[in-house]
Amino acid sequence: MGDDLKEAYFRRFYWILLSLIGSVEFVRGAMFIALVPIYIPHLALGATHRLRITVFLSGAIISAMYGADTIAKPFAGWLVDFLGARRTLLLSLPWALLGLSAFLWSRSWVVLLLGAILFGLGCAPVWPAVVSTLVEHSPSDEQAGTLSSIFVAWLLGMGSGFVLINLLFHLGPRFLITVLLGIFCIPVLLALNTRKWISMKHANVVSGPRRHLIQTIREVWNLRVLLPGAFAQTLAISMLVPLLFPFIKGVYGLDQTAYGFLILVVGAITIALMVPVGKLVDRLGYRLFLVTGFFLAGALLLAISRYPRPLLIYPYSILLGISYAFILPSWNGLLAHLMPSSVRGSLYSIFMSIDGLGMALGPVIGGKLGDTYGFHSTFGVSATILFAMAFFYMLLLGRRTIDNTSRQ
């Protein structure tokens, strides 16, 4: 197959895989971020007494889904490397569809919890499959831009799912869940429409599970310097989750609608800038954007908490969106640059699990700090971690061991 024809096929499947991850995250955002907290209590109205829904149970269902996804990711990445992205997705996505079906037909909280776990397990291979496949087939000088596009698809999918459910809540939970079941058939059909030459290219690079495991462990050890940072940078942001709205409401006087618009501004700025920043990262390198992004984010958190000015909250938010647009493509581009293609799916899964651990522990730690020492202390600790990450990458990426060629 000629290079031009291969490029045409890649561009086609580039959009297929972006649509796949976007549709999965659309359903995830609609179901588990919007529908479960709002509508699960409504499911109890016509049910037997066995279904006793509380706010805690709604949270447990959401945590079960994300927990299953995080725990399963290393194994899912191994499957992507060993079986190929296409086979792994076709094996896993139907299980996620089955888990989602539990919310339509079940009247038992146990089955709802198991359905959430099954959905999380079925979705676990999506990110390593899409990321490893697109990065592998992208030119080495375009990888950060490709990763930026993946994160844009994620943010657009999850955000639009959340917004749509809030707009259509009056249609009722059973109808909306039925619609989401239909939408979730889209990624299954998209996975069927991927060609084997893309998904299987690196599936047999390592001959056998044992050698694959040994190489994965070796590469994790080689990248061990990045593991604490992967945990710390997600921990720093997620620490603010439980107290951000109470703080913004109490200090800046914003109600829930204005707060939602504020989050929308941050997301819109991030989405708008991520792809062009990714292209700049490919041209200028990771160091400038990582260091600037983390330093700017830390400074903004201190400014938001220490120098509250109602008129400045939106400029603060715009700059925060810019800092996040700097961090995401440069961090993920750095990972793609350092990972060998033969175990890329497994390595991405391990780093995603570490990210997920930071996201899981952050709200607990941040909430405890806020309760014990006040909200300002949580902002201060989070900003300190971000400053530390800026200095860490400034020193790490100044070393000559980080060269300009990606590993194969």
Q: Mapped to the 3 state alphabet, what secondary structure does 54-75 carry? A: CHHHHHHHHHHHHHHHHHHHHH
- b/e per residue 333-362 (b: at least 16 CB within 10 A): bbbbbbbbbbbbbbbbbbbbbbbbbbbbeb
CATH superfamily of 215-396: MFS general substrate transporter like domains (1.20.1250.20)
Tokens 């603060």 label which residue? Answer: 316
> Are the CB atoms for 321 and 265 separated by under 8 Å?
yes
* Helix or strand run (H / E) with residue 312: none
Report if pTM > 0.85: no
- Is residue 198 within 8 A of residue 84, CB to CB? The reply is no
Q: Kindly indicate whether the domain formed by 3-204 is annotated with CATH number 1.20.1250.20.
A: yes
Residues of the chain with CATH 1.20.1250.20: 3-204, 215-396
* Residue 408: per-residue pLDDT: 46
Question: Cα(127)–Cα(131) distance, rounded to whole angstroms?
Answer: 6
pLDDT along the chain (408 residues), means of 10: 53 82 91 73 49 58 82 85 85 93 81 91 90 76 75 84 78 86 91 62 53 79 86 85 78 77 82 86 87 94 88 89 90 81 76 80 80 86 94 79 44
Question: CA 111 to CA 114: how far, in whole Å?
Answer: 5
Q: What is the Cα–Cα distance from 251 to 245, expressed in whole angstroms?
A: 10
| pLDDT tens track for 112-157 | 889 999 999 999 999 888 888 887 777 766 767 777 788 888 888 8
134 conformational bin, left if phi > 0, alpha if psi -120 to 50, beta if neither: alpha
